[in-house]
């Protein structure tokens, strides 16, 4: 295990109970932390990178205690926060050089080599002379990951990295993360976008209202939702009724009415056909079943 989290609790000074007894084992490779806004993901990330102390609990990073060996743990970690910004005065390569200096790379020649190699691997070498704050959204995110990786950390934590990116940039960024995770680097990817949790995440956790509601492989999350997703053919009048009774995932015009996709353990009173779940369906299933929001018919 690269990170072991036991009994983690965070209560903010204003009384917000953001994390409630979080227990997670994060293996090496790509780990997805999925949950809606306000679930507690950023709070957990900030604790993991030692920017904030938990109210209770214990975190081990490669055997080092986060609270006792903060300096050592920090050296093992790279972090790309959600709202990463660049100073206007730095060109792309100057910014990365600055990040490398901050991480303690004092030898100018070696630092230049490391910066060039990193720019190459994140696909920014050709734009290295451009001012960092003038890069496109996707390029900025890639420069963000480059600064998180420049000191060769064993774990990289990325918080909502694809928010605001267009689909092409999003795919490119996801592929970049997969490539990085192949080089023995653990990546913790925190996101509210189900599509970010791709097949490259061997393991994932679903977090909601400060609690873990699923932990395991994405395929297991899918399997648990099998037989719980339904397709119902309804008239326009019935649509409202179905919407009130079941969590609706999709509504598609069909003939004179609608085809509605819903999650439920069983459907009563409608002609429902089972539908093979995708990860988005499974996400809704787990969120809803945890909250017990739906009625069973
Ligand atoms: P996420 O990253 O999943 O969107 P956050 O960790 O930002 O969730 O927030 C979890 C909960 O903690 C929310 O209810 C949020 O309002 C609250 N929260 C976050 N930061 C603070 C803070 N500095 N002070 C008080 N409450 C906070």
Pocket test for ligand 1, best of 8, 10, 11, 16 (most atoms within 8 A of CB): 16
| 13, two tokens | 């000074």
C-alpha to C-alpha distances, 110 to 104, 106, 113, 119, nearest whole angstrom: 12, 8, 5, 14
Q: Is the pTM of this model over 0.95?
A: no
**pLDDT at residue 295 in the model:** 44
For ligand 1, is residue 16 a contact (CB within 6 Å)? yes
Give me the average pLDDT of each 10-residue run along the chain (297 residues).
95 98 95 94 94 96 94 92 86 96 92 96 96 92 94 93 87 88 90 84 94 93 92 90 89 89 89 91 83 46
Compute the chain's Rg from CA coordinates: 22
Q: Which atom of ligand 1 is nearest to the CA of 36?
A: 3
**pLDDT at residue 18 in the model:** 98
| 201, two tokens | 């995440």
**pLDDT at residue 1 in the model:** 77
Q: Which atom of ligand 1 is nearest to the CA of 160?
A: 2
Q: Which atom of ligand 1 is nearest to the CA of 82?
A: 2
**pLDDT at residue 146 in the model:** 95
**pLDDT at residue 85 in the model:** 84
Q: How far is CA 68 from the centre of its chain?
A: 27
Taking the centre of ligand 1 as the mean of its atom positions, its distance from the CA of residue 18, in whole angstroms, is 6
Q: Give the architecture-level CATH label for domain 3-216.
A: 3-Layer(aba) Sandwich (3.40)
* In contact, 192 and 34? CB cutoff 8 Å: yes
Q: Which atom of ligand 1 is nearest to the CA of 42?
A: 2
**pLDDT at residue 296 in the model:** 43
**pLDDT at residue 288 in the model:** 79
In this structure, which residue's CA is closest to atom 24 in ligand 1? 12
Q: How far is CA 34 from the centre of its chain?
A: 5
**pLDDT at residue 297 in the model:** 37
Residues in the chain: 297
For ligand 1, is residue 51 a contact (CB within 6 Å)? no
Per-domain residue ranges for the chain?
Answer: 3-216, 223-291
**pLDDT at residue 163 in the model:** 84
**pLDDT at residue 290 in the model:** 59
């Amino acid at each position: 295990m690269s990170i072991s989290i036991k009994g983690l609790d965070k209560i903010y000074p204003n009384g917000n109970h953001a994390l409630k007894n979080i227990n997670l084992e994060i293996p090496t490779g790509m780990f997805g932390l999925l949950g809606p806004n306000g679930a507690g993901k950023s709070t957990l990330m900030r604790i993991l990178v030692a920017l904030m102390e938990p109210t209770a609990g214990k975190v081990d990073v490669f055997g080092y205690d986060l609270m006792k060996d903060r300096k050592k743990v920090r050296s093992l970690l790279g972090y790309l926060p959600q709202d990463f910004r660049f100073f206007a005065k730095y060109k792309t390569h100057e910014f990365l050089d600055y990040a490398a200096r901050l991480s303690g790379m004092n030898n100018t020649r070696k630092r230049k080599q490391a910066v060039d190699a990193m720019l190459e691997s994140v696909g920014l070498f050709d734009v290295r002379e451009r001012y960092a704050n003038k890069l496109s959204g996707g390029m900025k995110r890639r420069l963000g990951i480059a600064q998180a990786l420049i000191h060769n950390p064993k774990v990289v934590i990325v918080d909502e990295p694809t928010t605001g990116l267009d689909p092409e940039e999003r795919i490119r960024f996801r592929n970049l993360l997969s490539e990085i995770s192949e080089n023995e680097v653990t990546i913790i990817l925190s996101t509210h976008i189900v599509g970010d949790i791709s097949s490259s995440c061997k393991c994932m956790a679903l977090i909601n209202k400060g609690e873990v509601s699923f932990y395991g492989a994405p395929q297991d999350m899918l399997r648990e939702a099998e037989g719980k997703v339904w397709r119902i053919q309804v008239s326009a009048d019935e649509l409202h009724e179905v919407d009130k009774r079941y969590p609706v995932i999709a509504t598609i015009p069909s003939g004179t009415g609608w085809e509605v996709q819903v999650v439920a353990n069983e459907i009563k009173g409608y002609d429902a056909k089972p539908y093979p779940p995708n990860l988005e369906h499974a996400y809704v299933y787990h969120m809803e079943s945890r909250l017990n929001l739906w009625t069973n018919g």
